[in-house]
Structure 1
Amino acid sequence: MKRPSLSSGFATFTVIWSGQLASLLGTGLTRFALLLWIYEQTGHATSIALLGFFSFGATVIVSPFAGVVVDRLDRRWVMIGADTGAGLMTVLLFILYSAGGLQVWHLYLTSALTGVFEAFQLPAFTAATTMLVPKSAYARVSGMRSLSTSIAEIGAPLLAGTLLSIIGLAGVMLIDIATFLIAVLALFRVRIPRPDGSAEPTAEPRNTRSDIGAGFRFILQRPGLAGLLIIYAGINLFGALTYMALMPTMVLARSGSDRMVLASVQAALGLGGLAGGLCVSLWGGPKRRIHGILAMTALSFLFGDFLFAIGRGVTVWVVAAFVAAFFIPFMFAANRVIWQAKVPPILQGRVFSVQGMLQRAMMPLGYLAAGPLADHVFEPAMAAGGVLVPFFSPLVGTGPGAGMALMFAGTAILGTAMCVIGYAFRAIRQVEDDLPDHDAALPPDALAA
């Protein structure tokens, strides 16, 4: 393998990143429009939360197999295939909606299939980045990836809220299809180097089971990485339970289903992420990456979730969204940098896929529990005359959305506590010092299996 120069590698990354940015914007348009559509059809938090359950559930199940594919094949072609599959899901939804046959279960099915494609795309993109830029640039390119997500979060809700009244849901999906084509064409323009040894013949045929096992073994033999995964899984559980699954429903419930209020809150999420992503891109984040994961995530939970809990109007929700999202790029960048630095490139597809599976493993549970807890436990308990009203109404109020607000108060406490627990374990706290970087010392068994 011959690595590209810094300038050519970064130029290649920028081409891929630009295509993915366009695709993210189009996907965000369709997701926001379909979120409004499903809420209008059902009016239940469970219906919206199930979208995340099916998407992340499928990603978790498929991830170990996806990692084997990422390490065996050209990562560019893996990304092309994944983007194409995701784009075809939008084409299918467009056809169903145009024919007047779109139903809620269709969204669950396509969400699951899109989750399958994402299981291939994310580790392939991260592993490809390792081959394109030097270690010193990992944090900054991770910041750029967070920037693209944030730009989509800013633009998509506001554009979708406007476009729905002009071109309707079908028109929004057509724009999404066009942006998917841009992403695929960008990938056709570039070449991504393969890691040393990935194209060499082996003495024995490669076995899928042992390849998957290699990813698990690499992590389990390193307590710092394994512990980091456990903490990250807990963080994702609490994030999925409210921030990801219930925030749109809570805002709609407390604003009288005002789509522009929701669009403003979603845009504030994007602005917060954009500001955080710019800071990471320019600064690189804390020198001690573990602080970027634990301390920054604790701040996001403590201030973002708590403000969502006590807020009863768009002004406080916008501030909460900005604060919560600002710290997330720091967490993403620090986590990616640690893993990219510690895992040999030839193993990154397998290890990153197992990592993704394990750290997202609790998210489907969070999505699955969020809707029933909101609809059948906390919302009735915080309605007028509810059993929890005497205790918590001064904090979160009463009526529609108050029960979900109380759940945000709970995740503010639990998420912060999870981060503090991470600091209590030396293997996690010292993961950067205890484990050598892959380019400093390659374990003799690293290429086993």
Structure 2
Amino acid sequence: MKFDKIKSFGKGLKDFLILWSTQSLSQLGSAMTSFALTLWLYETTGSALKTAALTICSYAPYVIMSIFAGALTDKFDKKKTMLVCDLLAALCTVTVLVLYLTDNLAVWHLYAINAFSGLMNTVQQPASEVATTLLIPKEQYQRASGLHSMSRSMISVLNPLFATALYGLAGLKLVIAVDLATFAIAFLALLFLIRIPEVPVTQKERMSVLVKEGVAYLKRTPMILTMILFMSGVNLVASAFDAALPGYVIPNPRGGTSMLGIVTAFSGIAMILGSLLVSVLPRPKNRMRVVYVTMLISLSVENFLLAFCRIPWIWCLSQVVGWILVPVMSANYDVIFRSTVPVELQGRVYACRNSLQFFTIPIGMLLGGWMVDSVFEPFMARYETVETLTFLFGSGKGSGAAVVMFVLGVAGTIHCLVWGHRMKQFHYSDR
């Protein structure tokens, strides 16, 4: 009987499992190339700012153009959209390889290529989300979200390890070669092995009309809009944390760059565990409550542990507490979104979500770095003789980052409590 259930589950999700596994493999290859390019750029320029600009160039199109990309997704065939975007992104990678092999690769090339590749991802991502909805039955949404969270977690853990090893072995060309091989596997699998069901498309409607429909849907669906705005604030706090973490760990006498790698790896390990947890958890009575309660625990406990503790194993523990519940939140968020938004609108609504929910990430990264370098490190240096401050946050370089962790813990707690109160009016259950 158990074997029949497993066989039935695999049969019902065959196309999704092929898409998920091959696309995850390709994403791992892309992440490895991105990491290797970061190493190459830093070795070439020696500038952290120029290296960070590489990420901004790839992220800016995602934030700015997402709202229009969703309209394109709903206007055209999902499978063809994914194939074209993947192919153009791969051509960007080939261009980098050719420039590198001919000793013509320059920094501005990477900025331009990353911006174009980011634009392709902006269009491809909503199409992939809609394709996932079309390929899985509603009762399997939570399990599918758990698989997505697990693959993202594995990529975050494995890509720096593999990229560093391959880069050290044969340089950038070997990393790119592996990336292109993973792309070929994913492209051919999507082209020949996966059939994505068709949904009605409105090819005669203007882009402006399609964009307005996505915005209008959010206006008349306050539950979805509230959830998106809540996560926008969460991303602001979380990205500020990401910017402050190196300034907290590296200067610490017990820290350093190796310890930062270990601490960061624990976030990926925690997400893998959280993804496994999602697959065995029963359906909650109220998924909206799960979304804000998990984030309340993550943003408060993690930041406060880091703010007041200067012991490495507690740093790792804080990462586990902060990240293990993220896949749980993500799975419930995903089920609410997929079950509520009509599939023919999902592309443009997903795109509106991306613009509203993720625009705070670059703001948070800039804010976190600014608070460490320009506000709280100078503050702690000025008042290093105040015993209460040194008792709570330590002394010397890194103590200002500890204060930032405390501020972010307070901000995250207040945000979750205030928005959690607003989200209590919405009750979503798929039982």
Query: What's the CA shift for 1:234?
Result: 0.9
Cα distance change on mapping 1:375 and 1:114 into 2, 3 Å? farther
Which residue of structure 2 aligns with residue 29 of structure 1? 32
Matched-pair contact (CA < 8 Å) for 1:275–1:326: yes
Which residue of structure 2 aligns with residue 394 of structure 1? 391
Q: Is the counterpart of residue 404 in structure 1 residue 401 in structure 2?
A: yes
**In the TM superposition, what are the counterparts of 1:51-200 in structure 2 within 5 Å?**
51-100=54-103, 102=105, 105-188=108-191, 189-195=193-199, 197-198=200-201
Cα distance change on mapping 1:314 and 1:29 into 2, 3 Å? farther
Cα distance change on mapping 1:262 and 1:113 into 2, 3 Å? farther
**C-alpha distance in structure 2 between counterparts of 1:294 and 1:84, whole Å:** 38
Secondary structure in 1 matching 2:267: helix
TM-score, with length taken from structure 1: 0.83
Aligned-partner residue type, residue 339 of structure 1 = F
**C-alpha distance in structure 2 between counterparts of 1:106 and 1:373, whole Å:** 32
Aligned-partner residue type, residue 335 of structure 2 = V
Aligned-partner residue type, residue 295 of structure 2 = T
Which residue of structure 2 aligns with residue 215 of structure 1? 214
Matched-pair contact (CA < 8 Å) for 2:254–2:312: no
Which residue of structure 2 aligns with residue 351 of structure 1? 349
- Give the structure with the larger helix fraction: 2
Bigger shift: 291-300 or 87-96? 87-96
Cα deviations across residues 336-364 of structure 1 (Å, max 9, x unaligned)? 11111111111111111111111112222
Bigger shift: 150-159 or 84-93? 84-93
CA-atom RMSD in angstroms: 3.1
Query: What's the CA shift for 1:145?
Result: 0.3
**C-alpha distance in structure 1 between counterparts of 2:383 and 2:233, whole Å:** 29
Secondary structure in 1 matching 2:13: helix
Cα deviations across residues 283-317 of structure 1 (Å, max 9, x unaligned)? 25634211231011111112223334445464333
Bigger shift: 334-343 or 398-407? 398-407
**C-alpha distance in structure 2 between counterparts of 1:47 and 1:312, whole Å:** 31
**C-alpha distance in structure 2 between counterparts of 1:64 and 1:274, whole Å:** 31
Cα distance change on mapping 1:50 and 1:413 into 2, 3 Å? farther
Query: What's the CA shift for 1:219?
Result: 0.5
Which residue of structure 1 aligns with residue 17 of structure 2? 14
Which residue of structure 1 aligns with residue 366 of structure 2? 368
Q: Figure out how many residues of one structure are paired with residues of the other and give that number.
A: 422
Which residue of structure 1 aligns with residue 263 of structure 2? 265
Cα distance change on mapping 1:116 and 1:284 into 2, 3 Å? farther
Query: What's the CA shift for 1:216?
Result: 0.2
Cα distance change on mapping 1:307 and 1:66 into 2, 3 Å? same
**C-alpha distance in structure 1 between counterparts of 2:171 and 2:50, whole Å:** 22
Which residue of structure 1 aligns with residue 414 of structure 2? 417
Aligned sequence identity (%): 34
TM-score, with length taken from structure 2: 0.86
Matched-pair contact (CA < 8 Å) for 1:140–1:284: no
**C-alpha distance in structure 1 between counterparts of 2:378 and 2:97, whole Å:** 37
Cα distance change on mapping 1:397 and 1:96 into 2, 3 Å? farther
Query: What's the CA shift for 1:136?
Result: 1.2
Secondary structure in 1 matching 2:279: helix
Cα distance change on mapping 1:51 and 1:296 into 2, 3 Å? farther
Query: What's the CA shift for 1:431?
Result: 2.9
For 2:323, which of 319, 322, 325 is the aligned residue?
Answer: 325
Aligned-partner residue type, residue 206 of structure 1 = E
